[in-house]
Amino acid sequence: MTQFDLTDDQRAIQDMARKFTADAITPNAARWDEDHHFPRDVVKAAAELGFGAIYVSEESGGIGLGRMESALIMEAMAYGCPSTSAFISIHNMAAWMIDRFGGDAVKAKYLADLVPCEKIASYCLTEPGSGSDAAALKTKAVRDGDHYVVTGAKAFISGGGENDLYVTMVRTGEDGPKGISCLVIEKDMPGVSFGAQEKKLGWRSQPTAQVNFDGVRVPVENLLGKEGEGFKIAMAGLDGGRLNIGACSLGGAQRCLDEALRYTAERRQFGQRILDFQNTQFVLADMETELQAARMLLYTAAAKVTAGAHDRTKFAAMAKRLATDTGSAVVDRALQLHGGYGYLQDYPIERFYRDLRVHRILEGTNEIMRVIIAREMMRQ
């Protein structure tokens, strides 16, 4: 990205993602939500465009793009369905972690199937007893010869029960972050099981379940990085994941802003279009201004994460906090502009209202984002 605009290549990527969304996602998203349908075929179709391995290296079969391009793709797909876009983001995060931190054996074993989404990966950090306090996780991995024996459980896992691989943070050492390691665990390994599918407010087009590990034997070669580096690896993954989830909020909010502009131009009250009331124009102007401000911060953070800038974590946290809060606020005002119709499933607004709400919780709650930002400020 140049200082004030996208490059020609970035615009081409954005246009491709928008066309894919218009053709494959937007016409079907309401049905997926209503039927709780997971569109695995559409995920694979997205992977045919390279969207299953956006920042996996070209050497490993990915398309080797940066976090800016990833944000553009996620934002474009979220215009049709934030739930599906976020699901693809999580797969990308897990695949990148394997490519970035895995040894030759684990990369050779899994990436050839992950890139085309023949297999799909989940990210497993949160536990029933440790949400925001991620470093307190209890899932244990004990070395036994050429394997780790893993026992514990992970909660709220996107793709739980459906996905093939689980990039899992486990405790191999002392309490706290330094005792955490990262293992790739397969769905079909003996001892892996899943809880019932969660009944959720939103994100209904993707499966979510608890993942249980009961004495699961995982080859040592499935370790990412070294023992004790798992928390650092998990946080590195989240820098990019937070950008993507922020981008999903931007895409969903942009859709609702466009819908509100269209609706207020068509509906008449008191003898004129709702759009012609100055109050309506003020609300729309604020929605546009706040959305653009959040977008510019997110794009800046994406450039910093791609470049490995020293303040990348702070900017990723700030961008995630602002984009997800702003996204929810924009959708709320779009619903208000629709009046009672915005509350009905006949219009897409209520689905986006439900889908975007969880973005302020996952990939680190927005309260934790503030903790990260303040901590980084105090280090300066």
Helix ranges (H only) for the chain are: 8-20, 29-35, 40-48, 67-78, 82-101, 104-114, 230-266, 278-307, 312-338, 349-357, 366-379
Which residue(s) pair with 122 in the sheet? 166
What distance in Å separates the CA atoms of residue 168 and residue 94, rounded to the nearest whole number? 9
State the residue for tokens 């794009």. Answer: 299
What distance in Å separates the CA atoms of residue 260 and residue 341, rounded to the nearest whole number? 11
The pair phi, psi for residue 160, each rounded to 5°, is: -55, 125
Catalytic option among 127, 266, 363, 376: 363
198 has catalytic annotation? no
**Based on the number of CB atoms within 10 Å of its own CB, is 93 exposed (0-12), middle (13-18) or buried (19 or more)?**
buried
CB-based contact 212:153 (threshold 8 Å) = yes
**Structure-derived torsion over alpha carbons of residues 286, 289, 292, 293, reported in degrees to the nearest 10:** -110
The Cβ of residue 64 has, within 10 Å, a number of other Cβ atoms equal to 16
Catalytic residues, by residue number, are: 363
